[in-house]
Amino acid sequence: MGDPKGFLKINRKETGYRPIQERKNDYNEVEKKLTEAERKDQASRCMDCGVPFCHWACPLGNNIPEWQDKIFKGDWKEAYLFLQETNSFPEITGRVCPALCEESCVLSLENEPVTIRQNELDIIEKAFSLGLVQPCPPKKRTKKKIAIIGGGPAGLACADFLNQQGHLVTVFEESDALGGYLRYGIPDFKLNKDVIDRRLDLLLKEGILFKTKKRVGKDILVSEIKKEFDVLCLTIGSRQPRDLKVTGRDLKGIYFAMEYLEQQNRMVRKEKISKESLINAFGKNVVVIGGGDTGSDCVGSANRQGAKKVTQLELLPKPSLERAEETPWPLWPKKLKTSSSHQEGCLRKWSVATKEFKGQKGEVQKLVVQEVDWKDSKMTEKKGKKIEIKADLVFLALGFTSVVKDRLTSDLKIKFNERGNIRVDKDYMTSVKGVFAAGDATRGASLVVWAIKEGRDMGQAVNRYLNEL
């Protein structure tokens, strides 16, 4: 390393966020930037430990110590070359990955891990600014044709890999634009969609074909796809939302989180939304049920729309500020996470179960919750009076249960696992020969970094399969 004692001399410094009153009035990205000198200082804190647990914790196996050293030395080109070896879309993970690597950093033992995620983001943005990221179409083409169904991170990562092997890759996406939940699930204040379009432009110039507004099984028959292509890759996500089936669920004003987030992202794109279908939090008491990142995104969006009050409910108990005994280092810890959206205004409640929605004239007005106790992972309701919370607008951010079963899955006659997602073998092949699947469609709703990892791995498996034909 350039400075083996950097971690002893320099403290961890995060970029931080733009002022709350400023960022609440726009949808620009909330994170700030450090100067190049400050970033080099942060990279110097990588201590070149004997066993890089950061590398172990990263699903992609990023060469983290290596590119930290290159940042410190100001060699951005070499840092970029190390980074792009393992990560197809570092500009995405550098913005929205929860940084599993940082919690496994040796310095995390002192709660001062290296700022790995932010260093990663600076590498790729510096590479773009220096003109280092250029289209690299393959020099030779095979005659093998691959259809990738689903244009999210897993599908795009797989497409990128297979295209570089010289195969002819077409990505089919049912929506009007590619990106999956990167585009329509994550708010612009966390991920500006120009970042996605910049990468898509590169993939197009490298020879990948994109076909949007094409739902396989509906707009295009499965039989047609199988006839034209040598291999099918399913990256359709796990998009069946988990519902909350309690009294009053049919009242107006209760939505799945993704209904709200997609609409808001479309409005940021300047799309027109009809008055009848508009979901607007302005001046309303908003309740978000679900304490994860999707719920946090609803909080941030509601604040930007001018909600009167935002409350977020979580069934599970409040996590501690410190690492819990059951998740010792270097494992991913169960700790309290406070996002930029929470900082902008949100009342958070833990260990509460929603029992009923109440309203008048078909519109939700309040919800009834019951406090619960947790012991040995078992939940019991507390004795006592139920609590009523005002709610003019409710968002269900309860995760997803499985892939959506439709004409595509039925026509392919693929089999599912016990969770209702697509069953695959160790080489990502489904129960149907020549049909592969990866990402959320197989593992269930998960992180972007896992989707990229599995997309790349599936690409390698497909390449081996094609070479054996």
Q: What is the CATH number of the domain that holds 80?
A: 1.10.1060.10
| 313 and 442 fall within a common domain | no
CA atoms within 13 A on the CB side of 394: 28
> For the purposes of burial, counting CB atoms within 10 Å of the CB of 140, is it exposed (0-12), middle (13-18) or buried (19 or more)?
exposed
For residues 196 and 12, what is the distance between their CA atoms, to the nearest angstrom? 29
What pLDDT is stored for residue 408 in this prediction? 96
Residue 356: inside a domain, yes or no? yes
For residues 292 and 257, what is the distance between their CA atoms, to the nearest angstrom? 11
| 221 and 340 fall within a common domain | no
- The SS3 of residue 262 is helix
> For the purposes of burial, counting CB atoms within 10 Å of the CB of 352, is it exposed (0-12), middle (13-18) or buried (19 or more)?
buried
Which residues of the chain, if any, have pLDDT below 70? Answer: 1-2
Using alpha carbons only, what angle is made at residue 301 by residues 21 and 212, rounded to the nearest 5 degrees? Answer: 135
For residues 304 and 319, what is the distance between their CA atoms, to the nearest angstrom? 27
Let me know: does 409 contact 432? Beta carbons within 8 Å: no
What is the value of pTM for the model shown? 0.96
| 117 and 159 fall within a common domain | no
Q: Which among 374, 398, 422 is the end of a domain?
A: 398
Domain range for 216 is 145-239+401-468
| 364 and 271 fall within a common domain | yes
Let me know: does 166 contact 140? Beta carbons within 8 Å: yes
| Residue the block writes with tokens 């081996």 | 464
Residue 358: inside a domain, yes or no? yes
Using alpha carbons only, what angle is made at residue 426 by residues 422 and 432, rounded to the nearest 5 degrees? Answer: 50
Q: Which among 398, 430, 450 is the end of a domain?
A: 398
| Residue the block writes with tokens 């604040």 | 303
| 183 and 310 fall within a common domain | no
| 248 and 234 fall within a common domain | no
Let me know: does 444 contact 400? Beta carbons within 8 Å: yes
CB atoms within 10 A of CB 276: 5
Structurally, the chain folds into a number of domains equal to 3
Let me know: does 29 contact 188? Beta carbons within 8 Å: yes
Residue 350: inside a domain, yes or no? yes
Q: What is the pLDDT of residues 430-456, one digit of tens each?
A: 999 999 999 999 999 999 999 999 999
- Cα dihedral 319→322→325→327 (10° resolution): 80
What pLDDT is stored for residue 91 in this prediction? 98
What pLDDT is stored for residue 325 in this prediction? 87
Let me know: does 138 contact 163? Beta carbons within 8 Å: yes
Q: Which among 347, 370, 398 is the end of a domain?
A: 398
| 389 and 405 fall within a common domain | no
| 161 and 220 fall within a common domain | yes
Residue 138: inside a domain, yes or no? no
Residue 230: inside a domain, yes or no? yes
Using alpha carbons only, what angle is made at residue 327 by residues 325 and 328, rounded to the nearest 5 degrees? Answer: 75
What pLDDT is stored for residue 378 in this prediction? 93
| Residue the block writes with tokens 């499985």 | 402
| 247 and 394 fall within a common domain | yes
CB atoms within 10 A of CB 312: 25
Return the closest-CA partner of residue 300 out of 16, 22, 24, 15: 24
Residue 134: inside a domain, yes or no? no
What pLDDT is stored for residue 2 in this prediction? 64
Q: Is residue 287 within a helix (H) or strand (E), and if so which, with residue range? A: strand 285-289
| 119 and 64 fall within a common domain | yes
Let me know: does 457 contact 171? Beta carbons within 8 Å: no
What pLDDT is stored for residue 82 in this prediction? 97
Residue 135: inside a domain, yes or no? no
Structure tokens at 366: 């309040």
Domain harbouring 186, CATH code: 3.50.50.60
What pLDDT is stored for residue 440 in this prediction? 97
For residues 407 and 225, what is the distance between their CA atoms, to the nearest angstrom? 13
Let me know: does 399 contact 440? Beta carbons within 8 Å: no
Using only C-alpha atoms, the chain has a radius of gyration, in whole angstroms, of: 23
Residue 140: inside a domain, yes or no? no
| 351 and 218 fall within a common domain | no
| 223 and 198 fall within a common domain | yes
Let me know: does 200 contact 125? Beta carbons within 8 Å: no
65: alpha, beta or left? (left if phi > 0; alpha if psi -120 to 50): alpha
